[in-house]
A and B are shown apart, each in its own frame.
Chain A
């Protein structure tokens, strides 16, 4: 911990323990007894557990604000030399912030799901999985060592897999689940190697022991082949592989849009607000390691930048409302990594915080629309929407708030955090700061454009889904869904007010609070005049995006068709998502399948199985028949063997 002194509580604390374990308990009970006893109301336990967890998190927040930090080991599973594996908790400003965010959103999304999932045959299963997810996410956030972080990391991955494939009878859903799982394996392979490397070179896995030992490796280079590799860069790279998988950054991003096959509350909680931000959290948690290597920082910034830009270009071409929002999530995650890449970790976390609320709100709003249109064959298609403003006023207003927030309109949460990222990037000491700022600004405009594209297409104009709905008209969602929407929309406005920058007369309390853990970014001298100019620019970019969207989708709908025909090549390139899926299919999937089907079958069948396996089977059969002869039940053999044993031992002793 830098600078500020905290009182560190090292004894067991029940409330810290309860925060993750209440959801676990609720999940297990619901899973076991849900089918038989809780068929009608399986949500009671998870929802109340989450509410309690949230209240306890608030209490912990107050404790941390008053200068306390909890750090203790719950128990140790195994101790081998310096390798300690166990459960431990660390509650400091960073984790308590995540704690409050995760529990509050998870609670509200649980409530929302009561309405959204009603009538589904897997009602109880859904609640069990989603609170199990919350447990793993809290374990991830609260951990005080890398192994437990990894446990939580894999746990949320598992729950994500289960929930993407929740409607497993749909082939696309189970395919998407598998895709998410396999792509995450690639990232996690690197992540595990990174953890091994940390242990190998630093001899510990506990954060509080890792950080003081980092100077030991600051100047270490190791040889890989004929290259000299800077050790901190290598470790950061390996760990960042995990972050790329979990936070869906290029080139491991393709699973996230497909993950939208899962129920919408899952998309809101897991694939927007919490799990996908785990990568950002991990990078921030280990920021001293990343900061040792400028190359690692450049890598983080660059990957974030590419993802951010790429996703922003794909989003406007998609017609599935959830996929558009998913691409915007990719893009916003890129923003957070950009912030980390210029050393502004606290600001990155600030954006993570505000993003969680407005993105969850966008998703839940989309879910509300989908719920209203669920009679249609494809309720996600924005082409059958339109004019929903009349039918669903609450969804309309909350969706508007979320859209304004993500577009960076002053006064809304997204504005403050996005603007902070741009300012810190511009004034960053890192040479790529200006590039990050420029792309960030560009993407800000694009974000506003595609967000309002779906907004206008869904809520304005005439309702186009009469046929698809077989004459039904959509209606507002039940209260149990709209009330969480309303509550989260407060978050989408006011969560940004916690960190109003100094230039606007605020105190940037949020960033100061986190900088106690995450350190101050290295900045060039800040010129306030320039800062105002940057702000105005980003506001202008946002407004222009909205303006163009209004022009294209409300005023002159013909323009949309015109553009997509005029620039057909580019349009197709973007519509096919930069051909990433096709590329991976050609490069990885097809050769792997070929290898599996032809080579392995051929070689293994003819050589390995026929000779080795059947050979060993023959050997076993032979020895078994030998043994059977010996185990024929004739006691004389038994006694012979006993005497033989004794004699062999005697000989052994005498010739020794």
Chain B
């Protein structure tokens, strides 16, 4: 019998976020200043980035565990979140009529949910974490409804998809509990290792993957994504497509290793058609888009498809490459959405691609950055996007999934087209749209420079980051070997 340990130290960070969120909501009515919430969040997140390095590993009951994997992923997510905050500040200043306090408070609640997801040790806690993560997002997507009525529609669509996701998840939970009598990752894994209940748990896995596929917007669970992305404020779109997907991917990998390790080959086989279809449809739909945000929404669908390709072989190294892919994608997203925030400041019309014609003449710096991020999305060396794709394909070839690799490569050629088209419009077409040249707010400039630096650095020298991400998985992997 395992003793219950109530180690509040390991829960400190989560409580910190919860309290910060509640605090903002409590005092928001009484404070006139527009910027206090941003600065509060700013310092809380900066503090947490330091703080997380000192959080001891340990359990809070059997359901919640801080370990190397969860802390590392949380740390990476905190960095991403920090940049989302910086982008939010720049973006919100364009919409002075909104209530800023709510925005940051809800972001904190969502972050709290993400952290619970990453640390959960059983399927019920995981569920609670997923819901905690999603519910604030329904509100956040609709933040701008004063300015744009259609944003309510996007939020509602995401809510309905989220509700379905929750339903499917509960089905899965029921099946697992019915079959095994337990909801803990390790116990499920033990049953599977003994060769029991494979059929039932595989059935459960289908519902589990469907539920997470909705969060990851894999085809055919993806349809809410473009609507929701277009409806939300730009920083929230970056949050949705970068951070949320990274966290869900991380927890999918965690569950695959900790609970479903003996079935990982079978699950991988289920994922093959999903990922290929996702890449294909994401890329095809992106071709027809004239709106930059919708283009990136579809491209986000396609990119998660690539990342899922790393899971199909059931190889642990492949899991690491998937995480690396999502990390690279996170920063590419931050960079490209940062650029969009800048472009919107210059002229709202710049979100339509044909209007971008010839901006390289007048905005050479931002055009160059956009070029770098688009190259990274298309997977052109020496950017990080190339490296991430390269390792995924390498993994497929190494584990003898050569057919899949070839198909994915072919599809990725289609996938490069939309980005190259934008580059062509920017650099080769004649411009016609008037605009004024906005200044670079310090936070925006900082985020753009850091994102560019990371994208280039990981393209030239990816080794240390890859090794680090692989190392985060070592503990879980070694646990598996101990069990077998």
**How long is the Cα–Cα vector from A363 to B210 in the complex, in angstroms?**
72
Interface centre among A76, A77, A630, A631 (most CB of B within 10 A): A77
Within the assembled complex, what's the spacing in Å between the Cα atoms of A638 and B217?
A: 12
Chain B proximity of A240: nearest CB distance (Å)? 29
Chain B interface size range:
20 to 34
Q: Given contacts A638-B157, A650-B203, are A76 and B463 in contact (CB under 8 A)?
A: yes
Residue of B223, B270, B387 touching A637 (CB-CB under 8 A): B223
The answer on a CB contact under 8 Å between A649 and B390 is no
Tell me the B330-367 residues at the A interface (CB within 8 Å).
none
Of the stretches A327-335, A516-524, A619-627, the one at the interface is A619-627
B406 on the A face (CB < 8 A): no
A652 is an interface residue with CB less than 8 A from chain B: yes
Q: Do the beta carbons of B288 and A620 come within 8 Å of each other?
A: yes
Q: A620-B288, A624-B288, A653-B206 are in contact. Are A641 and B461 (CB under 8 A)?
A: no
Interface string of A621-656 (1 = CB under 8 A from B): 001100100110101011101101110011011000
Interface of B is mostly: helix
**B223 and A638 within 8 A (CB):** yes
Contact A638 B161 (CB under 8 A): yes
> Which of A631, A639, A642, A652 is B270 in contact with, Cβ under 8 Å?
A652
Q: CB-CB contacts of B164-193 with A at 8 A, as 1s and 0s?
A: 100010000000000000000000000000
Q: How far is the CA of A75 from the CA of B464 in the complex (A)?
A: 11
Roughly how many angstroms separate A642 CA and B221 CA in the complex, as a whole number? 5
Alpha-carbon distance between A76 and B168 when the two chains are bound, in angstroms: 46
Which chain A residue has the least Cβ–Cβ distance from B161? Answer: A638
Tell me whether A638 and B206 are in contact (CB under 8 A): no
A583 contacts chain B at the CB level, 8 A cutoff: no
* A649 pairs with B270, CB closer than 8 A: yes
Contact status A641-B157, CB under 8 Å: no
Partner of A646, one of B157, B161, B207, B284: B207
Does A627 lie within 8 Å of B206, measured CB to CB?
no
For B12, the chain A residues whose CB sits under 8 A away are none
**Residues from chain B with Cβ under 8 Å of A652 in the complex:** 270
Interface residue B129 (Cβ < 8 Å from any Cβ of A): no
Known pairs A77-B460, A649-B270, A653-B203; A641 contacts B288 (CB<8 A): no
Interface centre among A75, A623, A649, by most chain B C-beta atoms within 10 angstroms, is A649
CB <8 Å contact, B202 and A639 = no
- Cβ-based interface call for B45 (8 A): no
Kindly identify which residue among A630, A638, A649 contacts B224, using a CB–CB cutoff of 8 Å: A638
- Whether A620 lies near B287 (C-beta < 8 A) is yes
CA distance A138 to B216 in the complex (A): 48
B284-A623 in contact (CB<8A)? yes
- Neighbouring A residues of B287 by C-beta, 8 Å: 620
In the complex formed, the residue of A with least CB distance to B203 is: A653
B220 at the interface (CB under 8 A from A): yes
- Beyond A620-B287, A638-B160, A649-B270, is A633–B203 a contact (Cβ under 8 Å)? no
Question: For chain A, what secondary structure do more than half of its interface residues adopt (helix, strand, loop), or is it mixed?
Answer: helix
Q: Is the CB of A642 within 8 A of B210?
A: yes
Q: Which of the listed residues A75, A646, A650, A653 has the most CB atoms from chain B within 10 Å of its own CB?
A: A646
- The verdict on A645 contacting B220 (CB below 8 Å), with A623-B284, A653-B206 known, is yes
Task: Point out the residue from A75, A624, A633, A638 that lies within 8 Å of B461, measured CB to CB.
Answer: A75
B322 located at the interface, meaning its Cβ lies under 8 Å from any Cβ of chain A in the complex: no
Check A558 for interface membership: any CB of B closer than 8 A: no
* B301 shortest CB reach to chain A, Å: 12
Q: Which of chain B's residues has its CB closest to A624's CB?
A: B288
Interface centre among A80, A639, A645 (most CB of B within 10 A): A645
For residue A655, give the distance in angstroms from its CB to the closest CB of chain B.
13
- B285 in the interface (beta carbon within 8 A): yes
- Give the complex CA separation of A62 and B118 in angstroms: 58
Q: Which B residue sits closest to A637, measured CB to CB?
A: B223
Report yes or no: B206 in contact with A646, Cβ–Cβ below 8 A. Answer: yes
> Which of A631, A635, A641, A650 lies in contact with B226, CB distance below 8 A?
A631
One digit per residue, 1 when the CB lies within 8 angstroms of any chain B CB and 0 when it does not, for chain A 61-83 equals: 00000000000000111101000
**Which B residues touch A77, using CB under 8 A?**
460-461
Instruction: List A contacts of B160 (CB < 8 A).
Output: 635, 638-639
Q: How far is the CA of A76 from the CA of B464 in the complex (A)?
A: 11
| Closest Cβ–Cβ distance, residue A614 to chain B (whole Å) | 15
Could you say which residues of chain A place their CB within 8 Å of the CB of B157?
Answer: 633, 635, 638
Q: Does A642 lie within 8 Å of B214, measured CB to CB?
A: yes
Check if B394 is an interface residue, CB within 8 A of chain A. Answer: yes
Residues 298-327 of chain B: 1 if any A CB is under 8 Å from the residue's CB, otherwise 0? 000000000000000000000000000000
Minimal Cβ-Cβ distance residue in B for A650 = B206
Cα–Cα, bound, A603→B288 (Å): 27
What string of 1s and 0s marks CB contacts (under 8 Å) between B452-483 and chain A?
00000000110100000000000000000000
Contact: A620 with B210, CB < 8 Å?
no
A642 and B288 contacting across the interface, CB-CB below 8 Å: no
Interface residue B213 (Cβ < 8 Å from any Cβ of A): yes
Per-position binary interface string of chain B over residues 28-49, scored 1 when its CB falls under 8 Å from any chain A CB and 0 otherwise: 0000000000000000000000
B227, A633: Cβ atoms under 8 Å? yes
Interface string of B212-251 (1 = CB under 8 A from A): 0110000111011011000000000000000000000000
- Cα–Cα distance between A644 and B164 once the two chains are bound (Å): 13
Q: List A residues 442-474 near B (Cβ within 8 Å).
A: none
Is B153 an interface residue, CB under 8 A from the partner? yes
Let me know if B220 and A641 touch, CB within 8 A: yes
> Which A198-256 residues have a C-beta within 8 angstroms of B?
none
Query: Is B223 a contact partner of A646 (Cβ separation < 8 A)?
Result: no
Q: Which residue of B lies closest to A75 (CB)?
A: B461
Q: Are B223 and A631 in contact (CB under 8 A)?
A: yes
A627, B285: Cα distance in complex, Å: 8
B390:A645 contact, CB within 8 angstroms = no
Give A644's nearest chain B residue, CB to CB: B220
Q: Are A645 and B213 in contact (CB under 8 A)?
A: yes
A77–B156 Cα distance when bound, in Å, is 46
Which residues of A have CB within 8 Å of B463?
Answer: 75-76
Most buried by A among B156, B220, B285, B390: B220
Please name the residue on chain A nearest to B210 by beta carbon: A646
* Interface positions of A (Cβ within 8 A of B): 75-78, 80, 620, 623-624, 627, 630-631, 633, 635, 637-639, 641-642, 644-646, 649-650, 652-653
Q: B residues engaging A (CB < 8 A)?
A: 153, 156-157, 160-161, 164, 168, 202-203, 206-207, 209-210, 213-214, 219-221, 223-224, 226-227, 270, 284-285, 287-288, 387, 390, 394, 460-461, 463
Q: List 13 A-B contacts (CB under 8 A).
A: A620-B287, A620-B288, A623-B284, A627-B285, A631-B226, A635-B157, A637-B223, A638-B223, A638-B224, A641-B223, A645-B213, A645-B219, A649-B206
